[in-house]
Amino acid sequence: LGYVLFQDEQFIAFWFQFFLFLSALCFFKWDIMDAPKINEIVGEKRQHYLEWIEMIDQLTKSKIK
């Protein structure tokens, strides 16, 4: 049964996101009052992520030339 369920990519993606969410909650151990801080952390991470994507983009473009 488990094998059949794990054939479904959407099912896997859902559980992956779910566990990622749970681990994030455990990691930050936040309470609801700390929402601005959470947004700040997420914003920083997103910024790093975007910079990283741009860096890879630049590298691939320079390789193509």
Same domain, residue pair 19 and 3: yes
- Counting residues of the chain whose pLDDT is more than 70, the rounded percentage is 58
Q: Which is more confidently placed, 26 or 32? A: 26
Alpha-carbon distance 11 to 55, whole Å? 32
Same domain, residue pair 22 and 36: no
Q: Domain containing 9: what range?
A: 1-29
Indicate whether 4 pLDDT > 70: no
Alpha-carbon distance 35 to 41, whole Å? 10
Confidence of residue 49 (pLDDT cuts 50, 70, 90): confident
pLDDT of residue 1: 46
Would you give the end-to-end CA distance of the chain in angstroms?
Answer: 50
Same domain, residue pair 37 and 59: yes
Same domain, residue pair 39 and 19: no
Same domain, residue pair 23 and 1: yes
Number of domains the chain is built from: 2
Same domain, residue pair 23 and 40: no
Alpha-carbon distance 35 to 38, whole Å? 5
Indicate whether 32 pLDDT > 60: no
